[in-house]
A and B are shown apart, each in its own frame.
Chain A
Amino acid sequence: EAGVTQSPRYAVLQEGQAVSFWCDPISGHDTLYWYQQPRDQGPQLLVYFRDEAVIDNSQLPSDRFSAVRPKGTNSTLKIQSAKQGDTATYLCASSFPGLGGHTNTGQLYFGEGSKLTVL
């Protein structure tokens, strides 16, 4: 089966510019996550969706970051007015329901990530 696909793989911006990252999860996976991974750190959860609904966006810097998943399949993460502190790799992951459909299995399937450098 096809894995999680992300694009673009790399982006280089000046401060103040905007960028969008796109994610295509594995078919049939209802939950989609966006993580931010700064260099030499672990992934940090930004937001996650179940189908088209945002379940938790408490860690998303809402003034400049936004994320959507309008049809419950592909998702876009947008950064407006990027700052040097946004330099990181942005990871998308998907997961499928566990028993009963109320929670996930805990196994996340990750894409290769989109590496952002803000100069």
Chain B
Amino acid sequence: AQSVTQPDARVTVSEGASLQLRCKYSSSVTPYLFWYVQYPRQGLQLLLKYYSGDPVVQGVNGFEAEFSKSNSSFHLRKASVHWSDSAVYFCAVSIDNNRIFFGDGTQLVVKP
């Protein structure tokens, strides 16, 4: 079985600061990994995904994530956050690209 842990329920950063949201996964095989974002009153949207190859994947709006097999991690990063990045971010995992399992999310608050 696969699972995802997002250890930080809430992260607060100042606008313009860098960001890292943590994600640890558990899987018997190298999984597919995803980051989704949920803006207020909107459905979840895909930010980026990792299948194989280069461990650093680029997503929309300047987000990137780095896969680490040794650490079983897939942390999300952004060099400079904007107030509009305030949202809930979900890390997700799948081993077959069909059943996708989500973590409990990290709420990002960007202070002006």
Q: For the complex formed, measure the closest distance between the CB of A50 and the CB atoms of chain B, giving whole angstroms.
A: 8
What residues of chain A lie closer than 8 Å to B98, measured between beta carbons?
A: 31, 48, 55-56, 103-104
A56 and B44 contacting across the interface, CB-CB below 8 Å: no
Report chain A residues within 8 Å CB of B96: 103
Min CB distance A115 to B, Å, is 11
**Residues of B contacting A93 in the complex (Cβ-Cβ under 8 angstroms):** 43-44
Q: Cβ of B43: which chain A residues have Cβ within 8 Å of it?
A: 3-4, 91, 93, 109-113
CB of A19 closer than 8 Å to a CB of B: no
Nearest B-chain residue to A107, judged by Cβ = B46
Cβ-defined partner of B97 (8 Å) among A42, A55, A98, A112:
A98
Q: Which residue of A lies closest to B33 (CB)?
A: A106
Task: Report how far A110 CA is from B6 CA in the complex, Å.
Answer: 21
Residue of A at shortest CB range from B102? Answer: A42
Measured in the bound complex, the distance between the Cα atoms of B51 and A39 in whole Å is 30
Q: Which residue of A lies closest to B34 (CB)?
A: A106
| A14 at interface, CB cutoff 8 A | no
Q: Are A106 and B44 in contact (CB under 8 A)?
A: no
CB contact list, B72-107 vs A, under 8 A? 90, 94, 96-105
A62 to chain B, nearest CB (A): 18
B52 CB to closest chain A CB (Å) equals 12
Chain A residues near B94: list those with CB within 8 A: 106
Chain B residue numbers with a CB within 8 Å of A41 are: 104-105
* Cα of A105 to Cα of B98 in the assembled complex, Å: 8
Is residue B32 within 8 Å, beta carbon to beta carbon, of the partner chain? yes
Q: Given that A91-B44, A108-B44 are known contacts, is A45 also in contact with B103, CB under 8 Å in the complex?
A: no
Provide 24 A-B residue pairs closer than 8 Å at the C-beta atoms, listed in order of the A residue. A3-B43, A40-B9, A40-B104, A42-B4, A42-B6, A42-B90, A42-B102, A43-B44, A44-B102, A45-B100, A45-B101, A48-B99, A55-B98, A91-B43, A105-B97, A106-B94, A106-B97, A106-B100, A107-B49, A108-B36, A110-B43, A110-B44, A112-B42, A113-B43
Taking A48-B99, A108-B36, A111-B43 as known contacts, 9 extra A-B pairs with beta carbons closer than 8 A to each other, sorted by chain A number, are A45-B99, A45-B101, A93-B43, A103-B97, A103-B98, A104-B97, A107-B46, A109-B43, A112-B42
